[in-house]
C-alpha cells in the first residue's frame, strides 16, 4: 500500500510540476494580454488558458454558471466585510456587477479581489464559492450521517441496510485500519470521531470538487486556506495530546550527547512538529489542485487548438475529452486516496503523541 501511495505521489508531483510550468508560461501571457484585451475590446478575444484555469481553481465571490467573464450568468453570494471605520457591511455580490460597480465603498478588482476604495484596512468574511461549497458539504455530511446514525439506533443489533451498509465498511475502515492500526488499541477510541469527521469532510469535498456543474465544482480541498485549517487543527491537537514520553523525545532525546541535542536534534524535532502538519496541508492542497488543473488543462487544449482554427478544436476535442475522462476517473481514486492519506498520517501523528514508552530507558 505504501509503495502504491508513493508512486501516486511521485506521479502527481510530476503532473503538478508540469502544470505550474504551464501556468508560468501562460502567466507571462496574462501580463502581455492585459494590455492586449484593453486596447482591442471589439476584437475576438484570444483564449487564455492559464487565466481560465486559475479562474476555475481559485475562490470567487459568485458562483459562475455560464457566460463570458464580463457578462456571466452566476449565482451571487453574500459579501460580509468588516472595517473599523465603516463597521459591518453585508450585501450581495451581484451589486458589484462583476467588477463594473462599487458598493458601500468597496470594489471588485480585475483579478477578483475586493478592495476598499479609500484603501482602508478591512476584514473579509464573505461567503465565497468555496465557503458555500463547504457549507453544502457539511449539510450533506450531517444529512447522511444523522440518517445513518438514526438507522443504527432504530435497528440495534441488526445487519446494516441501505445507506447504512454503504457507509459502514468505510467507518470500519477508518476505525480499524487507520485509527486502531496507527494509534494502538489503548488510545485509539478517543480519536476516532475526529478521524472519521476529517476523512469524510475531505472525501466529500474532494468528490464535490469533481462535479463540474453547479452544486459542485468548487476547488475546496485544493484551496490552501482549507487544507491549512485542517492541518492547523491537527497541529493543535498534537500539541495538546502529546504525553511526557513524546515531548521528552522531542526536547531532550535520551541516549544522545547534550551538544548534539542542543544544536541538532531538538531544533530538528521542533521543526518536525510543525513540518508534519505543514506537509499534510501541502500534500492535500497540491494533489487536489493539480488534479483540477490537469483536467482543466485538457479541456483548455480544445480551445487553444480552436483559437488557431475551428477545425483544429473540433478534431482535438475527442482526444482531449478522452484524456480528461481518464483524469476524472483517476481523480475519483485520488479523492479517496488523499482523504485516506490525510487521515492515516494524522492518526500516525496522534499515535506518536500518545505512544507509551514500551522499552526501558537506558539510563
Partner 1 sequence: MNTFGIILMSPLLSPSYGLIVWTLLAFLTILIILKKFAWKPILEALKERENSIQNALDAAEKAKKEMASLNASNEKILQDARMERDLLFKEAREMKDSIIAEAKTKAVVEAERLITAAREIINNEKMAAITEIKNQVATLSIEIAEKILKSELSNDEKQKTLVKSLLEDVKLN
The count of residues interacting with partner 1 (CB under 8 A) is 53
Contact call for residue 194 and partner 1 (CB under 8 A): yes
Taking residues 233 to 272 in sequence order and writing x for each that binds partner 1 by CB under 8 A, - otherwise, the string is: x---------------------------------------
Inter-residue contact 68 to 60 (CB < 8 Å): no
Backbone angles phi, psi at 228, to 5 degrees: -60, -45
User: Which residues pair with residue 92 across a beta bridge?
Assistant: 78
Taking residues 290 to 319 in sequence order and writing x for each that binds partner 1 by CB under 8 A, - otherwise, the string is: ------------------------------
Contact region with partner 1 (CB under 8 A), list: 4-12, 120-128, 310-318, 350-358: 120-128
One of 48, 59, 187, 339 touching partner 1 (CB under 8 A): 59
For residue 95, the tally of other CB atoms under 10 A from its CB is: 14
Contact call for residue 90 and partner 1 (CB under 8 A): no
One of 6, 92, 165, 229 touching partner 1 (CB under 8 A): 229
Task: Please say which residue, 197 or 307, places its beta carbon nearer to partner 1.
Answer: 197
Contact call for residue 48 and partner 1 (CB under 8 A): no
Q: How far is the CB of 167 from partner 1 (least distance, A)?
A: 8
One of 29, 33, 115, 124 touching partner 1 (CB under 8 A): 124
Task: Please say which residue, 80 or 332, places its beta carbon nearer to partner 1.
Answer: 80
Which residues have a Cβ under 8 Å from the Cβ of 306 and sit 6 or more positions away?
47, 312, 313, 314, 316
For residue 275, the tally of other CB atoms under 10 A from its CB is: 12
| Residue keyed to cell 501562460 | 26
One of 183, 288, 289, 345 touching partner 1 (CB under 8 A): 289
Q: Alpha-carbon dihedral of residues 134, 140, 146, 150, nearest 10 degrees?
A: -170
Query: Residue 314: which H helix or E strand, with range?
Result: helix 310-354
Inter-residue contact 293 to 53 (CB < 8 Å): yes
| Residue keyed to cell 461549497 | 133
| Residue keyed to cell 513540518 | 275
Contact call for residue 175 and partner 1 (CB under 8 A): yes
Distance CA 175, CA 165 (A): 15
Contact call for residue 111 and partner 1 (CB under 8 A): yes
- With CA atoms as reference, report the closest residue to 199 among 217, 228, 174, 227: 174
Q: How far is the CB of 173 from partner 1 (least distance, A)?
A: 12
Contact region with partner 1 (CB under 8 A), list: 131-139, 206-214, 311-319, 347-355: 131-139
Contact region with partner 1 (CB under 8 A), list: 133-141, 253-261, 298-306, 314-322: 133-141
Inter-residue contact 342 to 336 (CB < 8 Å): no
Helices 224-241 & 310-354 angle (0-180, nearest 10)? 10
Contact call for residue 5 and partner 1 (CB under 8 A): no
Task: Please say which residue, 39 or 153, places its beta carbon nearer to partner 1.
Answer: 153
Contact call for residue 122 and partner 1 (CB under 8 A): no
Distance CA 134, CA 75 (A): 16
Q: How far is the CB of 113 from partner 1 (least distance, A)?
A: 8
Given 3-state DSSP classes, what are the helix, strand and coil percentages for the chain, each rounded to the nearest 5?
A: 65, 10, 25
Contact region with partner 1 (CB under 8 A), list: 6-14, 128-136, 259-267, 321-329: 128-136
| Residue keyed to cell 468548487 | 218
Binding site for partner 1 (CB under 8 A): 20-21, 23-24, 27, 54, 57-59, 80, 111-112, 123-128, 130-131, 134-135, 138, 141-142, 145-146, 148-149, 152-153, 156-157, 168, 171-172, 175, 192-194, 196-197, 201, 223-226, 228-230, 232-233, 289
Amino acid at each position: 500500500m505504501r509503495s502504491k501511495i508513493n508512486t501516486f505521489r511521485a506521479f502527481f508531483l510530476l503532473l503538478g510540476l508540469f502544470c505550474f510550468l504551464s501556468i508560468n508560461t501562460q502567466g507571462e501571457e496574462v501580463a502581455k494580454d492585459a494590455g492586449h484585451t484593453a486596447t482591442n475590446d471589439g476584437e475576438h478575444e484570444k483564449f487564455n488558458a492559464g487565466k481560465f484555469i486559475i479562474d476555475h481553481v481559485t475562490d470567487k465571490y459568485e458562483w459562475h454558471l455560464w457566460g463570458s467573464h464580463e457578462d456571466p450568468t452566476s449565482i451571487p453570494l453574500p459579501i460580509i466585510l468588516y472595517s473599523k471605520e465603516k463597521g459591518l457591511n453585508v450585501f450581495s455580490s451581484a451589486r458589484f456587477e462583476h467588477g463594473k460597480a462599487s458598493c458601500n465603498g468597496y470594489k471588485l478588482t480585475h483579478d477578483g479581489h475586493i478592495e476598499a476604495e479609500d484603501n482602508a484596512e478591512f476584514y473579509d468574511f464573505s461567503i465565497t464559492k468555496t465557503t458555500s461549497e463547504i457549507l453544502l458539504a457539511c449539510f450533506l455530511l450531517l444529512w447522511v450521517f444523522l440518517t445513518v446514525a438514526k438507522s443504527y439506533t432504530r435497528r440495534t443489533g441488526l445487519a446494516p441496510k441501505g445507506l447504512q451498509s454503504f457507509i459502514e465498511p468505510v467507518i470500519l475502515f477508518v476505525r480499524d485500519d487507520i485509527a486502531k492500526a496507527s494509534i494502538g488499541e489503548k488510545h485509539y477510541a478517543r480519536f476516532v470521531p475526529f478521524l472519521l469527521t476529517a476523512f469524510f469532510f475531505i472525501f466529500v469535498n474532494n468528490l464535490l470538487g469533481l462535479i463540474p456543474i453547479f452544486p459542485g465544482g468548487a476547488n475546496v480541498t485544493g484551496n490552501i486556506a482549507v487544507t491549512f485549517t485542517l492541518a492547523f487543527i491537527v497541529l493543535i491537537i498534537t500539541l495538546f495530546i502529546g504525553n511526557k514520553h513524546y515531548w521528552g523525545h522531542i526536547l531532550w532525546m535520551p541516549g544522545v550527547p547534550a551538544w548534539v541535542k542542543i544544536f541538532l536534534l531538538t531544533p530538528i524535532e521542533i521543526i518536525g512538529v510543525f513540518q508534519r502538519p505543514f506537509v499534510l496541508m501541502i500534500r492535500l492542497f497540491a494533489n487536489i489542485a493539480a488534479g483540477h488543473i490537469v483536467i482543466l488543462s485538457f479541456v483548455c487544449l480544445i480551445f487553444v487548438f480552436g483559437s488557431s482554427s475551428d477545425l483544429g478544436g473540433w478534431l482535438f476535442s475527442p482526444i482531449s475529452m478522452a484524456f480528461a475522462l481518464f483524469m476524472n476517473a483517476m481523480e475519483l481514486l485520488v479523492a479517496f486516496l488523499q482523504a485516506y492519506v490525510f487521515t492515516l498520517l494524522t492518526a500516525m501523528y496522534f499515535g506518536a503523541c500518545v505512544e507509551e514508552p514500551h522499552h526501558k530507558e537506558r539510563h
